[in-house]
Amino acid sequence: MFFRWDWLRPQLTAPIVPTLGPVHPDALTVGIFEDTLRVAETGDFLPYDKDRRWGGEKDEKVLREDVIHQPERTLIPTLSRRGRGTVKVFAYGLRDSAVDEAAELAAKLAAAHDVVNAKVVRLLPPGTMHPGGTRIQLKDFAAGACPDPGGPVRPVTVWPATVQGTFAPFAEAMAADGLAFLHTQMRADRCGPVLAAAVENRIVGAIGPLDVRPDSIGHPQLMPQYFAVLPEARGRGLGRVLWRAAMHWGQSHGAAYQLLQTEVDGPSDHLCQSEGLVSLGFTHTTTA
């Protein structure tokens, strides 16, 4: 075993695992960290990796030989070749010196692997959010019922063909939010249902894909979705209706929980906070 849990566990101020993202606190074990090392050189997906939905090979991998694991801090670097390439170093440690050391390591590894981007991901506990950071939020479906909110929301495939035809321009307009990528997956029939909100026979918002899969300890998790509403359609409550419709779908299909990452003080962050989600901590990413 590479990691010592008695060293790593006190440093986990937020439930983030490199290459996997947020995990449920109950699933945060030394085994999940060991799993990321095991598949680092194979290009395989772990069975519970959210990115497995899209097929192909795993792009981001842990640089196993460059991990620094000591009692006071753990630095775990990852490498992605997507675009111009990125090295991220996840800094687990309670002292600011861990972040400084992570920045040095990220810059060195970016040069060694001939990639452009070098970044540091710092974990922060609940109550210590950083402006510009990302909040990790938990939706617990056992906490209460998620009724169907009604409203102008349907699966894309249920809308009339003329409405369905407006999804493509909507997706292109919201490409920065991942909707163009989602649309390619929908056309290839590689994902679960996508809910769309339409106004005057035009799609103006969507959330999806909807999919429930077991996590590393077998608990059913509603997988993360892409979620966007056109700027000109905001302020009408459509985002909340889409969100509640997705939560209704998740609860109806047996999900125990969902984990989300939202930009601190962004629209999705305010929505999730107003819907009663639990903050599990924060991450703050900086350029090395």
Same domain, 182 and 87: no
Same domain, 157 and 110: no
- According to the model, what pLDDT value does residue 57 have? 84
Q: How far is CA 141 from CA 149, 168, 182, in A?
A: 16, 32, 25
| pLDDT tens track for 197-225 | 999 999 999 999 999 999 999 999 999 99
Residue 88: burial class (beta carbons within 10 Å; 0-12, 13-18, 19+): buried
Tally Cβ neighbours within 10 Å of residue 82. 9
| Residue that is written with structure tokens 């307009």 in the block | 173
CA 177 to chain centre: 12
Same domain, 65 and 200: no
Same domain, 155 and 99: no
| pLDDT tens track for 24-69 | 999 999 999 999 999 998 888 999 999 998 888 899 999 999 999 9
> In the chain, how many domains are there?
2
This model's pTM is above 0.85 = yes
Tally Cβ neighbours within 10 Å of residue 253. 13
Collect all residues with Cβ–Cβ distance below 8 Å to 249 and sequence separation of at least 6. 193, 195, 210
We report the CATH number of the domain holding residue 177 as 3.40.630.30
- C-alpha 99/C-alpha 111 separation (Å) is 19
129 pLDDT exceeds 80?
no
The sign of the torsion formed by the CA atoms of 225, 182, 185, 41 equals: negative
Domain boundary among 73, 98, 124: 124
Q: Is residue 43 part of a domain?
A: yes
Q: Is residue 66 part of a domain?
A: yes
Same domain, 116 and 146: no
Same domain, 154 and 258: yes
- C-alpha 185/C-alpha 209 separation (Å) is 9
Nearest to 76 by CA among 162, 164, 8: 8
Residue numbers of the domain that contains 17: 5-124
- According to the model, what pLDDT value does residue 128 have? 84
- C-alpha 86/C-alpha 104 separation (Å) is 14
If one compares 191 and 214, the residue with the highest pLDDT of the two is: 214
Tally Cβ neighbours within 10 Å of residue 148. 12
Domain boundary among 63, 89, 124: 124
Domain boundary among 124, 151, 175: 124
The sign of the torsion formed by the CA atoms of 149, 150, 151, 157 equals: positive
Same domain, 150 and 250: yes
**Arithmetic mean of pLDDT, 69-73:** 94
- According to the model, what pLDDT value does residue 163 have? 98
| pLDDT tens track for 154-169 | 999 999 999 999 999 9
Same domain, 120 and 145: no
Same domain, 195 and 250: yes
